[in-house]
Amino acid sequence: MSGRSRRGADRASRLARAAALSGTNGKVCPADLATLLLEAIIEPGDRVAIEGDNQKQADFLASALAKVDPARVHDLHMVQSVLALPDHLAVFERGIANRLDFAYAGPQSRKLAELVAANAVRIGAIHTYLELYARALVDLTPQVALVVADKADRDGNLYTGPNTEDTPTITEAAAFRGGIVVAQVNEIADRLPRVDVPGDWVDVVVPSPKPYLIDPLFTRDPAKIRNENVLMAMMAIAAVYEPYQVRRLNHGIGYATAAIELILPTYAARRGLKGKIATHFVLNPHPTLIPAIEAGFVDSVYCFGSELGMERYVSNHADIFPVGADGNLRSNRALAQVAGQYACDLFIGGTLQIDAQGNSSTATKGRITGFGGAPNMGADPRGRRHDSPTWLRAGQEAGESLRGRKLVVQMVQTHQPNGAPSFVERLDAFDLAASAGFALPPVMIYGDDVTHVVTERGVANLLRCWSPLQREAALRAVAGYTEFGRRQSREITDSLRRRGIVMFPSDLGIDVNTATRDWLAAQTIDDLVTASGGLYVPPAKFRPTTVPHG
């Protein structure tokens, strides 16, 4: 029997077992049979992909999988972008799964490290999102994919609404290699607003007892932005955005990048930068971007996913966001990762540690955090061929004669909120690699990709450094009152400032005393609601009792 024939017979056998549970319901399987369904279609040793984005979760199917009988379903190889829920690790604790390939485990990073230490989990690799999606199409193809959508009809067509995210990518990886696709949905509908995943890619639909879990991961309360964040935002605009004419960009999550978004209509406008910087974003619909959109700064935003509470605002701004005929956002995490790498001239984001070579990592002692999309967007794309003023100038400063450079900015305070220094001689990632048996340390962004580092102390322009020792000196100059920073003499720092490699606020014409929250175009969640014309509806945990619902 050929490989194709074997796959077909295997698929038919699994579907027959699923049909026995669904009975006369066609593709629809009742929620109370979800665990039995998974026991019927999953076989020992299978690769199983479960949709766990950093926002949208197939939480009901994750719970059902964690309840299967380990005597029947075991030795699974889990392939998933994010480990966000306790149930994502319960499958390893119960002996249902023992292998894992993933991208990010922020909420479960400490527990994952414990399970690895106990030999309950064998990690194949920590990937970027795009890297994991690519391998799902090549050598990590799932036999079973568990995905999630807003609605389905009885033919299995899926409507993902504003939160499409990973769903089409995971579904396609399984559906076209003889795999079984099970979709958790909030509702079975006779007619869908639009079809995001065709029904012939989907084998079983399970209506969930409650709406799927979604986390407002990209919401930052302006009230928590401190003066230090505003100062860093002002320096980023003056030292990077303005001189390089950055128009196409991606912002990572954090209060410093939220501060940049909130001072575009004030500080950047005062500098005459409207229409010259920050016009095209690859970004989730950050609520802190609302004032800049309303001020006419932003021409377009392409989205990885949506953001809870921003649905009405996005739907009413089809001139900015990709909105379908149904009136809702169409997001796509895989395509946004591609856009973030090849269509953006700048990536700016935070980290937990930076070493003397400029390598950065979010892996710290006792935690296996992973990367998400930062290594993809925070890497200079060697395959790029189109130019832009930003790309060309960065390349010229780096001494490139045949190509440009992408700007990769690490924006971090010299100390983390817990007091730990952000600048270290050696990343914890090296020790983690040794303890977890990784071939290489989990570095998030390699130092040779980093072009600028912004701290509350100043800006280090690494493009202008012509040796590793000079790069190290520039990093020490902006490391502030850390042990790492104190190892540098003032004379060396002053020399770097004179050459424009290091820029302190005064070198950029910024008076630290005026770098305050007064620059923020919105200072509270309430202000964001007002700026949106009442269209933004903050999630409950951000919502003061006085916020109008529009």
Residues 263 and 387 in one domain: yes
Residues 383 and 484 in one domain: yes
Burial 60-86 (b: 16+ CB within 10 A, else e): bbbbbbbbbeeeebbebbbbbbbbbbe
Q: Under a CB-based contact definition with an 8 Å cutoff, are residues 91 and 66 in contact?
A: yes
Burial 321-359 (b: 16+ CB within 10 A, else e): bbbeeeebbbbbbbbbbbbbbebbbbbbbbbbbbbbbbb
Measured distance CA(460)–CA(472) in Å, rounded: 10
Can you give the pLDDT at residue 548? 46
Can you give the pLDDT at residue 360? 96
Torsion of CA 535, 536, 538, 539, to 10 degrees: 80
Residues 166 and 227 in one domain: no
Chain centroid to CA 527: how far?
26
Residues 398 and 500 in one domain: yes
Task: Output the domain CATH number for residue 301.
Answer: 3.40.1080.10
Measured distance CA(167)–CA(165) in Å, rounded: 6
Task: Give the three-class secondary structure for 344.
Answer: coil
Chain centroid to CA 30: how far?
33
Sign of CA dihedral 391, 392, 393, 397: positive
Residue 524: inside a domain, yes or no?
A: no
Can you give the pLDDT at residue 547? 46
Instruction: Please report the DSSP string for 273-328 in residue order.
Output: -TTTSS-EEES---GGGHHHHHTT--SEEE-SS--TT-HHHHHT-TTTS-B-TTSS
Distance linking the first and last C-alpha atoms of the chain: 63
Residues 509 and 377 in one domain: yes
Residues 249 and 166 in one domain: no
> What is the number of domains present in the chain?
2
Mean pLDDT by 10 residues, the chain (550 residues): 64 91 82 97 97 90 98 97 96 98 92 94 95 97 98 97 94 97 98 97 97 92 97 98 98 94 98 98 97 98 96 97 96 96 97 96 88 92 96 96 96 94 96 89 96 98 96 98 95 97 98 98 97 96 60
- Of 173, 207, 241, the last residue of a domain is 207
Residues 136 and 284 in one domain: no
Instruction: Please report the DSSP string for 179-214 in residue order.
Output: -EEEEEEEEE-SS-S--SB-GGG--EEEE-SSPPPB
Residues 273 and 315 in one domain: yes
Can you give the pLDDT at residue 544? 60
Can you give the pLDDT at residue 9? 72
Residues 41 and 131 in one domain: yes
Residues 394 and 349 in one domain: yes
Residue 449: inside a domain, yes or no?
A: yes
What pTM was estimated for this model as a whole? 0.94
Q: Output DSSP code: residue 259.
A: H
Can you give the pLDDT at residue 549? 46
Measured distance CA(221)–CA(524) in Å, rounded: 6
Residues 144 and 231 in one domain: no
Residue 533: inside a domain, yes or no?
A: no
| Residue (of 13, 144, 139, 128) closest to 78 by Cα position | 144
Task: Give the three-class secondary structure for 56.
Answer: strand
| Residue (of 106, 84, 533, 545) closest to 310 by Cα position | 533
| Residue (of 228, 153, 162, 229) closest to 191 by Cα position | 153
Three-class DSSP labels, 416-480: CCCCCECECCCCHHHHHHHHHCCCCCCCCECHHHCCEEECCCCEEEHHHCCCHHHHHHHHHHCCC
Residues 467 and 506 in one domain: yes
Range of the domain at 150: 12-207
